[in-house]
Structure 1
Amino acid sequence: MEGAFAAAGLTRHEAVGRMAEALAPLYDAREARTIARTVLAELEGVPLPALLADPAAPVRSGELEAVTARLSAGCPLQYVVGGAWFCGRRFAVREGVLIPRPETEELTAWVLDAEHDSRALLDVGTGSGCIAATLALALPDARVFAADLSEEALAVAAENFRTLGAAVTLRRADALTNLAEVFPEPMDALVSNPPYVPQRDLATMHTNVRDHEPHRALFVPDDDPLLFYRAIARAGRRMLRPGGRLYFEIYHLYADYMRRMLASEGYTATEVREDLFGKPRMVCSRMA
């Protein structure tokens, strides 16, 4: 790849082609071109439709080679461009902070639909702050709180709340040990996309996840995959108002285990919903 972008007068079309070629070992041809176009639009500072509308325009950026080197080493697109889109808004993301996923947008939409009259909601393990910010901006009469243990996540979430003008109370807390102590306010809902991928799945994951995204935000022990859900549910018994609800994004293979665990912790009316791909991915359960 060295020198692939050194030629003077490189057009957008040529740059996309060369970037896609460099990414071919990691992605199929269509995904490689999509990534190349998205990155080039970011580097050129133009919307993607404008980039595609003028493929013969000369490339101005001098960063193509360095950026392509990062991408071809498996670094996720979102870390390279420094942002990810979630529910129609752009959130800053950096290495050390989980990249927002489309499935989490579906969970957030469920919460917004069901909790429009709620007074207080907590996002546990906020990461980039994408759930909490979306809730705060859509529910201006509610108090929205956010928790994370990672200093990197807390810094990025705070940056996103400032940039987006989202009124979120952000505190450092450990979902496994001190959630109820750090957030003594009575809550109507707890929302969380906690770590849930079994450690055994690590070897089969794409390099851009396996080698770049924070493992502590993704993986759980094989012998206790519901570790975070159980801890949050137990904290919820102290934190939630009567009738308050838990909302979780879940590992699709563990939906039945989630139902049983929530029932054993005293929750009722548990509902599991499928994502756009037909996988059981979200759960809501009510405190009796």
Structure 2
Amino acid sequence: MTIQSAFANLTNALRPMYDMREAANIGHLLMEHITGLGKLDRIVHKDMDLPPQWESKYSEGLEQLLAGRPIQHITGKSWFYGMELIVNDQVLIPRPETEELVEWVLLDHPSQPALRLLDIGTGSGCIPIALKKHWPSADIWAMDVSPGALSVAGRNAQMQHTAINFVQQDVLDPKAAALLPCLNVIISNPPYIPEREKADMAVNVQHFEPSTALFVPDNDPLLFYRRIGQLAMERLDPGGKLYFEIHEDYGQEVKAELEKQRYLDVILKKDMFGKDRMVRASKA
């Protein structure tokens, strides 16, 4: 099997699961992971036969992909805001929509790099690490209930040479705020998918990403927004800002909840696909 035929076979096998563009992108990522060769080098050496160790990795990788395992879990890495990060089944794979949330925070504070900031439900650490790289003098904290997630986030922070204050804590615990300093900014991409939607989600999300980071009870989809709003009222300085990533169907509900909690200037923002995806609010 040559490099070229392996790639063609791989993308064809993935076509029932993904559209042509995504299948090709996954194919390129797996082939680079197996061979260590970039796309251009693979074109140059397209007629090169795969040695036995590459064929073995290829067969194993294809089998995992067909079982729904995300390519990021096979390669062990994902990209976010120009950074290569470690990912595994303990954390959500960073999404482009979350990059837009980071961008919004950065644009809102162009001349205030010495902020005190908290990310709640940090997962891989992608949000606080991206912000710390842009604001080296900021005092940045990151909270997660999962020790597995914090282990990954800590490795990513070390790999990106960023000093983050990590805290293992359940934000739903009423005592969570006591562990935190006064803050200028709180940001969170919390669980927000109702359990009833789980059956309709892709296999790679259902079975390979942590459910505690994704799902909320059907009867209380605003659970985390309400609680984080309460915590932010305790820890944000006057004029401090709260940022959320949200479920596209609950934008108005999140906005109304924050207004009920007496936040000011609550703004609902769409993502690149025109879906309600982010909310920003200010403490009086």
Question: Any conservation in 2 of the 1:255–1:272 contact (CA below 8 Å)?
Answer: yes
TM-score, reference length from structure 2: 0.94
The match for 2:73 among 73, 79, 95 is 79
* Separation in 1, partners of 2:227, 2:101: 20
Partner of 1:194: 190
Partner residue in 1 for 2:177: 180
Is 1:119 the counterpart of 2:115? The answer is yes
| Residue aligned with 1:170, SS | strand
Which of residues 44, 48, 61 in structure 2 aligns to 1:67?
61
Q: Does 1:102 align with 2:96?
A: yes
- Map Cα deviations across residues 212-246 of structure 1 (whole Å, 9 max, x no partner): 11111011111111100111110001100001010
1:239 paired residue among 235, 249, 256: 235
Between 97-106 and 36-45, report the one with greater CA deviation.
36-45
* Residue of structure 2 in register with 1:6 after alignment: none
1:258 and 2:249 correspond: no
Q: Is the 8 A contact 1:119 1:143 kept in 2?
A: yes
Which residue number corresponds to residue 48 of structure 2? 57
- RMSD (Å), alpha carbons: 1.3
Could you tell me whether the CA contact under 8 Å between 1:137 and 1:167 is conserved in 2? no
User: 2:204 maps to what in 1?
Assistant: 208
Aligned counterpart, 1:4: none
- Counterpart of 2:35 in structure 1 is 44
Of 14, 18, 25, 1:27 maps to 18
Cα drift, residue 24 of structure 1: 3.1
Match of 2:213 among 217, 229, 242: 217
Q: Are 1:229 and 2:225 an aligned pair?
A: yes
Residue 154 of structure 1, aligned match among 142, 150, 154: 150
Taking a change above 3 Å as real, the CA distance of residues 280 and 49 of structure 1, as seen in their structure-2 partners, is farther
CA contact (8 A) 2:193 2:214 kept: yes
SS at match of 1:252: coil
Deviations 1:150-206 (A, max 9, x none): 1110000000000110111111011111331221x1100000000001111111111
**CA separation of 1:286/1:212 partners in 2, compared to 1, >3 Å: closer, same or farther?**
same
Alpha-carbon contact 1:250-1:283 (below 8 Å) kept: yes
CA distance in 2, matches of 1:42, 1:278: 34
What is the distance in 1 between the residues matched to 2:92 and 2:201? 15
Distance in 1 of aligned mates of 2:169 and 2:259: 25
CA distance in 2, matches of 1:54, 1:260: 58
Deviation at 1:53, TM superposition (A): 4.9
Give % identity.
39
Partner residue, 2:83: 89
Structure 1 consecutive aligned stretches of length 4 or more whose deviation exceeds 4 Å: none
Whether the aligned pair in 1 keeps the contact of 2:89 and 2:209 (CA below 8 Å) is yes
Any stretches of 5+ residues in structure 1 without a counterpart?
A: 1-9
Amino acid at match of 2:123: G
Q: How much has 1:28 moved relative to structure 2?
A: 2.8
What is the CA-CA distance between 1:23 and the residue it aligns to?
2.2
Q: How many pairs does the alignment contain?
A: 278
| Deviations, residues 104-127 of structure 1 (Å, cap 9, x unaligned) | 000001111113415200010000
Instruction: Give ranges in structure 2 of 5+ residues lacking alignment.
Output: none
